[in-house]
Amino acid sequence: MKKGIIISMIFTIVMLVSFISVIASENPREKPVAMTTSLSGTILDGKTGESLVGVSVKIEGCELEAYTDFDGVFNFDGIMPGEYTISATMISYKKESSKFVVKLHNDNRIKLNLKSVSQK
């Protein structure tokens, strides 16, 4: 009888430890939703002021990339607050980079103007 109880307790402990290990290891890189925010912006032609479509926008040092839509707008979700360098590139335009501080519970918007390769 004691042997059965001991085996049952050991089994329960092993299952509990396994369950906790699985939960703790699930998506360790996932950020708590309450601690993230979004970053959006607009990319414009530096000379004409027109919206640029299909511009590659990257947060340097991260694996995040977005492309501008028909209104020249891009958006990143799930960004941790902090200082980032945002870069925008497009064929026939010079790369533009800007430092930006992303704050929690803030309207994090940035506007970049790209100069064409032919502009000085």
* Domain extent listing, the chain: 1-30, 33-114
pLDDT for residue 120: 61
Residue 85 to residue 59: CA distance in whole angstroms: 6
Residue 94 to residue 97: CA distance in whole angstroms: 10
pLDDT for residue 29: 46
Q: Identify the burial level of 43 via C-beta atoms within 10 angstroms of its C-beta, where 0-12 means exposed, 13-18 middle and 19 or more buried.
A: buried
Which residues touch 43 (CB under 8 Å, ≥6 apart)?
A: 51, 52, 55, 57, 68, 72, 74, 88, 90, 111, 112, 113, 114
Encode the chain (120 residues) as per-residue pLDDT tens digits: 576 777 777 777 767 666 666 555 544 445 555 688 999 999 999 999 999 999 999 999 888 999 999 999 999 998 999 999 999 999 999 999 999 999 988 889 999 999 999 866
pLDDT for residue 23: 56
For the domain covering 33-114, report its CATH number. 2.60.40.1120
pLDDT for residue 1: 59
pLDDT for residue 28: 42
Which residues touch 33 (CB under 8 Å, ≥6 apart)?
A: 78
Contact between residue 61 and residue 86 where contact means Cβ atoms under 8 Å apart? no
What token pair was written down for 41? 């912006």
Contact between residue 111 and residue 51 where contact means Cβ atoms under 8 Å apart? no
Contact between residue 18 and residue 10 where contact means Cβ atoms under 8 Å apart? no
Q: Is the pTM of this model over 0.75?
A: no
